[in-house]
Structure 1
Amino acid sequence: MSDRSLRRPELHPVWLAFHDRLSSGRPVSRVRIGPLNDAEREALADLLGLDRLPDAKPFIALTRLEAALAETDGRTVREVVADIVGPIDDRAADRRRANDERAALWAWLEAHNTVRSQPALADWATHCRGAGLIHGSVTRTRELLSAALTVLAALPAGGEPLPVFAAHTLDGDSHALDDGTRLSSLVLRALSTVYGVEPPDGAQQRRALWARAGIADDELSTTVLTAGLCPDGHGTLSRVTNACTEAGQAASLTLAQLRTPGEFRFPAVPVHITENPSIMALALRRFGPYCPPLICTSGWPNSAVIHLLRMLAAEGAELRYHGDFDGEGIRIAAYVLDKTSAAAWRMKAQDYRAAIARHNHGPTPGRLTEAPWDPALAPAMAEYVASVVEEVVADSLLSDLESQITAAGAVHKPQILFPESNT
């Protein structure tokens, strides 16, 4: 049978049916054709050498068609089908490849440094996976997620307006985070997960969430509490902090002051960070003007807190952070450690267990996420189902601060100058 005969329109249903089945990527033994009209049945009977017309919807064995073509054309079924209809696909392999690409995408997201360093974002990654691909494209989805992760890594911002922050962060695209964009929604969803609040459902809530992440903060109302800072220099920031330290008082520094500090040189000494102002109050009451350098985040750190910590680290300060042993406290600690060079201070599983052994159990810790600095901490808290606030372990924290004073040679007998206070 000539090639022209094989290309007869009446045989086209045969080649189309075999092309579809062979493209499935699965083993093929026989293929059902039809329904065929009389002319197509006659053409099929001629092709297979049948002595009578086949049914209108016959099954054709692959081996039978191979044998017929071997006698009349010399080519295989795959060769004829590919020549007449087009290249034969492998849909099973395509599906496997697509599944592998999707699996690789979600594995990349879950293992990303920004997600791993802030374990609360694991819930966001799970949400992204559940939402699926953007227009079915792994490439487009990864591009969007990469942009969102770039934004999250750059937060908290330094108080810039949103378009300015977007331009600095996303290759000059000042509109990338405009309200209603897919990227803006994705980042806000991540922020709501980190802060443990409901996703914003209105413009006012969206603005509030951006502000919490340091976008368009008010330079005067955004402040950070400090104590014991004694930087060198004659700039405004140095004069303010030294004056407060000499008076044994805390300083409330504004973001505006931190942005334009003037001459400011800080010695490479440890700087301790607490979550709650009450710890700073106890330290000042006990140590007065001898209080070692101490910073308070007052809960979730704002842009002034992060700005100051980065300033101090750039001067060589060793940052040490302590917070509450509860779900939110662990997330705040992970955030501080991710955004700065701070290390955990008495925030490991052994410290938690010791505190639980010495004090009555506190309220339940709430939603727990992994502590990147100590994988054993979250399981320990889940075991006891109890929180430990900073105030409960204030004696240990103050003891560390007192040791720092002694090591620095600030006083010879701190136990006399700084009598124990009720904590």
Structure 2
Amino acid sequence: MRAAGTNDNSAGVRHLIDALTAAAGKLPADPPMPLPKLAHDTAGDPHFFDLDTLADARLVALAAELTGREEPSRPDRVRALLEDVGVVADRLTATVLLHHVAVVGDGPVDRRLREAVTPVSLHLIDLTRTPPRLDPTQALTVVENPSVLEAALARGSEMALACTSGQLRAVNQALLQLAVDQGLALRYAGDLDGPGLSIAHTVARLYGADLVAMDTATLHDAAATPSAVPLGPLPAEGIGPQLARELCAGGRVVFQEHNAVLDRLLPTSNLHGTSIPLAHPPIGLPTSLPGAGTI
């Protein structure tokens, strides 16, 4: 904490130190306790150690210190570290949507996925406590917006889909890592805007996903009916110069709800879990991302 710049004696810093000291005396917790319970019992406030706060970062540093491990940066690994010291976070609140995802196991989550006719909402605990055995012969297409799954229902598409509902959280990264570990081919599609391109870059870099409908061809097809939303700033990395230039020239976001995107993602001829030939190769992002698959 001193190295990070905590060098004053304010009441807030003293309260944080007192809470961490009390937490250290309770860890590892057996039986495990929810993160809000730990915060309540050590700081008097169930939200004190809420994730993505300074207090949470210090708690993660404490857990790393207690276990002799490096501090993780990925949300799923942060939660895994906390679980190793008996603290559970977001297992019942964070969810990911799966639709027509084929499984080969017989666990409780496998049965739910096998029997479902509509998208299935899985919690982080489902993916970590009783993870499904995904069929490795299928390609899993991960999308940013739930509206794509609605469109899949409307179009009768049977392709394997998962939805992150925006930014990558622990539950989303747990699913992506599970898919990689079980040998699935991953495809990712997001909005053509700053946040969407940043997420796509992360998914391609960390999990080797092929990017779909995030290229200049999609942008050209969408240009006839542009959205009303200004583009905003683009990420500094992970976007090809040609796509960046053409996006800036158009000045509008291309959302996944656009037919130019949906027609690429949900071809009506697709059968359950099979790979899909792309009408255009995804040329928007560079191919040299560390750890990425072919883009």
Is the TM-score greater than 0.5? Answer: yes
Structure 2 residue aligned with 1:362:
228
Indicate the residue corresponding to 2:201 in structure 1. 334
Asked whether the equivalents of residues 361 and 387 of structure 1 are also in contact (C-alpha less than 8 Å), the reply is yes
- Asked if the contact 2:141–2:160 (Cα under 8 Å) also holds between the matched residues in 1, the reply is yes
Question: Counterparts of 1:249-260 in structure 2 under 5 Å?
Answer: 249-260=118-129
1:396 aligned to 2:264?
A: yes
Unaligned runs of 5+ in 1: 1-133, 135-155, 178-186, 192-209, 410-423
Partner of 1:298: 165
How far the C-alpha of 1:233 sits from its partner, in A, is 1.2
Assess, with a 3 A threshold, how the Cα gap between structure 1 residues 162 and 361 changes in structure 2: closer, same or farther: closer
2:111 corresponds to which residue?
239
Q: Contact between 1:369 and 1:378, CA under 8 Å: does it hold in 2?
A: no
- Does residue 276 (structure 1) correspond to residue 145 (structure 2)? The answer is yes
Once residues 150 and 63 of structure 2 are traced to their aligned partners in structure 1, the CA distance between those partners, rounded to angstroms, is: 38
Contact kept? 2:101, 2:134, Cα under 8 Å: no
Shift of 1:297: 0.8
Deviation at 1:262, TM superposition (A): 5.4
* Counterpart contact for 2:159–2:273, Cα < 8 Å: no
Name whichever structure is richer in helix by fraction: 1
Corresponding residue for residue 345 of structure 1:
212
Q: Are 2:248 and 1:382 equivalent residues in the alignment? A: yes
Structure 2 CA distance for partners of 1:373 and 1:232, relative to 1, 3 Å = farther
Distance 1:369 1:235, change over 3 A: same
Q: Is the 8 A contact 1:222 1:255 kept in 2?
A: yes
**Structure 1 residue 217: deviation in Å?**
3.2
Partner of 2:99: 227
CA contact (8 A) 1:326 1:366 kept: yes
CA distance in 1: counterparts of 2:132 and 2:194, whole angstroms = 40
The C-alpha deviation readout for 1:136-158, integer Å capped at 9, x for no partner, is: xxxxxxxxxxxxxxxxxxxx99x
Cα separation, partners in 2 of 1:310 and 1:174, compared to 1, 3 Å? closer
Kept in 1: contact 2:140–2:161 (CA 8 A)? yes
The CA deviation at 1:375 is 3.4
Which whole-Å CA distance do the structure 2 matches of 1:378 and 1:353 have between them?
Answer: 13
**Which shifted more, 343-352 or 315-324?**
343-352
Aligned residue identity for 2:265 = L
Name the structure 2 match of 1:285: 154
* SS at structure 2 position matched to 1:252: strand
Report Cα offsets for 1:255-314 as digits up to 9, x if no partner. Answer: 001002256242222111111100111102222xx6211010101021111111111122
For the structure 1 residues 219 and 360, does the alpha-carbon distance in structure 2 shift closer, same or farther, using more than 3 Å as the test? same
Distance 2:264 2:256 in 1: 10
Distance 1:253 1:227 in 2: 11
Distance 2:64 2:207 in 1: 18
Partner of 2:179: 312
Aligned residues: 213
Higher relative contact order (CA 8 A, sep 6+): 2
Q: Distance in 1 between matches of 2:236 and 2:175?
A: 26
In our comparison, the structure showing a higher alpha carbon Rg is 1
What is the TM-score when the length of structure 1 is the normalising length?
0.44
Q: Secondary structure at the match of 1:405?
A: coil
Equivalent position SS for 2:105: coil
Structure 1 residues 265 and 299, CA, compared in 2 at 3 Å: closer, same or farther? Answer: closer
RMSD: 3.5
Residue 391 of structure 1: SS of its match in structure 2?
coil
The CA deviation at 1:334 is: 1.7
Give the % identical residues: 26
User: Normalised by the size of structure 2, how large is the TM-score?
Assistant: 0.62
CA change 1:175–1:295 in 2 (3 A) is closer
Residue 226 of structure 2 aligns to which amino acid in structure 1? Answer: N
